[in-house]
């Protein structure tokens, strides 16, 4: 049974909480912040603030994926089948899988 008074109170409360204050930054705010910031030491990592995801990591992952896949294919045709080759192949396949999972998780986290 729905308690309509409870639902009404919840509704009112949610609306009040979602109603953001009608306030915005003054037009010269950014200029004043930059005036203060200009006295600070410049730092080399500012470009990272604009990145939503660590792209260098993802680029390295894609590169490793391609290299590992090529290595598996090339070696399959050029190495004589043996127990040690099969073991190496399994390791390479496992590495491929780990890289793929990492890329998937990184994409999911960046959303």
Partner 1 sequence: MNRQVSFEQVVREHQDMVFRMLVRLTGTREHVDDLAQQVFLRLYRALPSFRGDALLTTYLHRIVVNVAQDEWKRRKKESDRNTSLSDDIAGWEQRLHHPSPSAEQELETRELQHTVERAMQTLSAIERSVLVLYHQEERSYQQIAETLKLPIGTVRTHLHRGRAKLRSELERWRQGGRR
CB hemisphere CA count around 10 (13 angstroms):
6
Shorter beta-carbon distance to partner 1: residue 53 or 76:
53
**Cα gap 111→53, rounded to integer Å:** 9
Q: Which of 1, 2, 20, 83 binds partner 1 (CB under 8 A)?
A: 20
**Cα gap 14→23, rounded to integer Å:** 20
Shorter beta-carbon distance to partner 1: residue 28 or 83:
28
80 interacts with partner 1 by CB under 8 A: no
21 interacts with partner 1 by CB under 8 A: yes
Span between the terminal Cα atoms of the chain, in Å: 38
Shorter beta-carbon distance to partner 1: residue 1 or 37:
37
45 interacts with partner 1 by CB under 8 A: yes
């Amino acid at each position: 049974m729905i308690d309509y008074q409870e639902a009404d109170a919840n509704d009112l409360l949610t609306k009040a909480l979602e109603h953001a204050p009608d306030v915005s930054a003054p037009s010269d705010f950014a200029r004043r912040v930059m005036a203060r910031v200009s006295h600070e030491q410049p730092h080399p990592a500012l470009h990272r603030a604009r990145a939503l995801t660590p792209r260098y990591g993802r680029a390295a992952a894609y590169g490793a994926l391609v290299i590992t896949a090529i290595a598996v294919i090339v070696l399959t045709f050029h190495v004589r089948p043996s127990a040690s080759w099969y073991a190496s192949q399994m390791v390479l396949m496992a590495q491929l899988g780990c890289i793929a999972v990492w890329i998937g998780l990184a994409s999911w986290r960046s959303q």
